[in-house]
Amino acid sequence: MMSAETIVQILVSGLLMGLLYALIAAGLSLIFGLMDIVNFAHGEFMMMAMYATFGLVVLFSLDPLLVSPLVVALMFGVGAFCYRFIISHAMRAKTNAGMVQVFATFGLAIVIRGLAQFIFTPDYRSIPKSWLAGKTFDIGGIFMPAPQLAGALVSILAFVGLWLLMKKTDFGKALEATREDAGAVGLVGIDRNRIFALGWGLGAALVGLAGSVLAIFYYIHPDVGGTFALIAYVTVALGGFGSVFGALAAGVLVGLVEAVSATALPPSMKAVGIYAVYLLVVFLRPRGLFGHLS
């Protein structure tokens, strides 16, 4: 049977990974909460951020951590751009607006993947050397790899920052107001379009942050977004669409469940554990753990 040490190791690894899942899901949840759109290109945004990190690291011989803020800013721009030139058009649909957005972003995802293959070739890339890569902390027999630890830390900081942004700043309040009633905010002088664009920018920036951290220890490839995308969507739904805190809780839960399922079930079926938890939760709470009443 499994030793206590093994169990603790599995849970710790699951927690660290879960915090990263939470960060990936945060942007998706934010965008949805703001305007009821599920961004099917979310995984591809993350892939873009990973390539951007790789490219900047190789070009300027800098550590990924240093390059990360630039990548985040870049992704903010990408998100805002996508809203302005693509999503805003999708939202003008009078009928089936929900479906149109799904497929417009789905088409966008395919295009981004094709572009990545065209520009970078389908070969697998890795960031060769970085300050964090390869280091791992051994605390009492429990191993915590430095990149994942950093990722978890970044994730927590990002969520704290997000909370402060939403509650304490004008922008955050405008975001919240637009989420509550997008139609009415025009009356109080809030430019709805501008808020949406900034919201998309923020959502993309968050997943971009996750991507640049992931690039430190994960391989980079045009299809890498797909590997994380489904987990991201399940995480957001589990936490409750629109609830950023829900994304955090759900991400951690998914990370832990994945880790435990890989030992309790045959590892090739570990995802069933995650899916079962999702179904169980939504059957009992149809809006996820912390979903907003719309």
Partner 1 sequence: MTPPHAKRRRRQLLSGVIVLALVAALPLGITDVYIQNILVLTVMYAALSQAWNILGGYCGQISLGHALYFGIGAYTSTLLFSKYGISPWVGMGAGGIIGAALALVIGWPCFRLKGHYFTIATIVLAEIGLLLFLNWDYAGAASGIQLMAVRDSWADFSFLRSKLPYFYFALGLAAVTWLVTFLIEESKWGYWWRAVRENPLAAESLGVRVFRSKMAAAALSAFFTAIGGSFYAQFVSYIDPESVMVFQFSLLMALPAVLGGIGTLWGPAVGAAILIPVSELTRSYIGGGGRGIDLILYGSLIMLISLARPEGLVGLASLFTRKSSPA
Partner 2 sequence: MPKTDRLNRRQATALLGGAVAGLPLGAARAQAKDIVVGGLYPLSGANAQIGVDAKYAYETALDIINNKHEIDLPLARTEGLPNLGGAKLQMVFADHQSDPQKGRAEAERLITQDKVVALIGTYQSAVAVTASVAAERYGIPFLGADTSSPSLHRRGLKYFFRAAPHDEFFTQAMFDFFDGLEKRGVKIESVALFYEDTIFGTDSANVQKKLAGAKGIKILADIKYRSNSPSLTSEVQQLKSANAQVLMPSSYTTDAILLMKTMAELGYKPPAIVAQDAGFSEQALFNAIGEQGEGVITRSTFSLDLAAKKPSVGQVNELFKARSGKDLNDLTARQLTALLIMGDAINRSKTAEPAAIRDALAATDMPGAQTIMPWRRVKFDETGQNNDCTPVLLQRKGPKYVTVFPAEYAVAQVSWPGLK
Interacting partner of 234 out of partner 1, partner 2, none (Cβ under 5 to 8 A depending on kind): partner 1
Residue 292 beta carbon to partner 2: minimum distance, rounded to whole angstroms: 28
> How far, in Å, CA of 268 to CA of 279, rounded?
19
| Neighbour-count burial of 5, counting CB atoms closer than 10 A to its CB (0-12 exposed, 13-18 middle, 19+ buried) | exposed
The string of DSSP codes covering 58-121 is: HHHT--HHHHHHHHHHHHHHHHHHHIIIIIHHHTT-SS-HHHHHHHHHHHHHHHHHHHHHHHH-
The footprint of partner 2 on residues 11-50 (CB under 8 A) is 13-14, 17, 21
Q: Which does 157 bind (CB under 5 to 8 A by kind): partner 1, partner 2, none?
A: none
Strands (E), the chain: 136-139, 142-145
Cβ-contact 262, 213 below 8 angstroms: no
Do residues 108 and 82 lie in contact, with contact meaning Cβ atoms separated by under 8 Å?
yes
| Count of CB atoms situated within 10 Å of the CB of 194 | 14
CB of 38 to partner 2, least distance (A): 20
Q: Which does 286 bind (CB under 5 to 8 A by kind): partner 2, partner 1, none?
A: partner 1
123 binds partner 2, rule: CB under 8 A: yes
Which residues inside 246-265 make contact with partner 1, applying CB under 8 A?
none
Select from 259, 277, 281, 289 the one that contacts partner 2 (CB under 8 A): 259
Distance CA 206, CA 146 (A): 20
> Residue 128 binds which one of partner 2, partner 1, none, with CB within 5 to 8 A depending on kind?
partner 2
CA-CA distance, 99 to 229, in Å (whole number)? 18
Q: Please identify, among the stretches 44-52, 198-206, 234-242, 259-267, the one whose residues bind partner 2 according to the rule CB under 8 A.
A: 259-267
Closest approach, Cβ 15 to partner 1, in A, equals: 23
**Residue 241 site contact among partner 1, partner 2, none (CB < 5 to 8 Å, cut-off depends on kind):** partner 1
CB of 124 to partner 1, least distance (A): 15
Q: How many residues bind partner 2 (CB under 8 A)?
A: 47
For the bound state, the minimum distance from the C-beta of residue 217 to partner 1, rounded and expressed in Å, comes to 26
Instruction: From 68, 18, 11, select the one nearest 250 (Cα to Cα).
Output: 18
Provide the 10 A C-beta neighbour count for residue 245: 18
**CB neighbours of residue 166 within 10 Å:** 17
Judged by CB under 8 A, does residue 193 bind partner 1?
no
For residues 5 and 142, give the distance between their C-alpha atoms in angstroms, rounded to a whole number. Answer: 7
Stretch 141-160: interaction string toward partner 2, x if CB under 8 A: --x-x--x------------
How far is 11 from 9, CA to CA, in rounded Å?
5
Contacts to partner 2 by CB under 8 A: 2-3, 6, 9-10, 13-14, 17, 21, 114, 117, 121-126, 128, 134, 136, 138, 143, 145, 148, 217-219, 221-223, 226-228, 231, 255, 258-263, 266-271
By CB under 8 A, name the binding residues for partner 1: 32, 38, 86, 89-90, 92-100, 102-104, 106-118, 122, 222, 230, 233-234, 237, 241, 266, 268-269, 271-272, 275-276, 278-279, 282-283, 286-288, 291
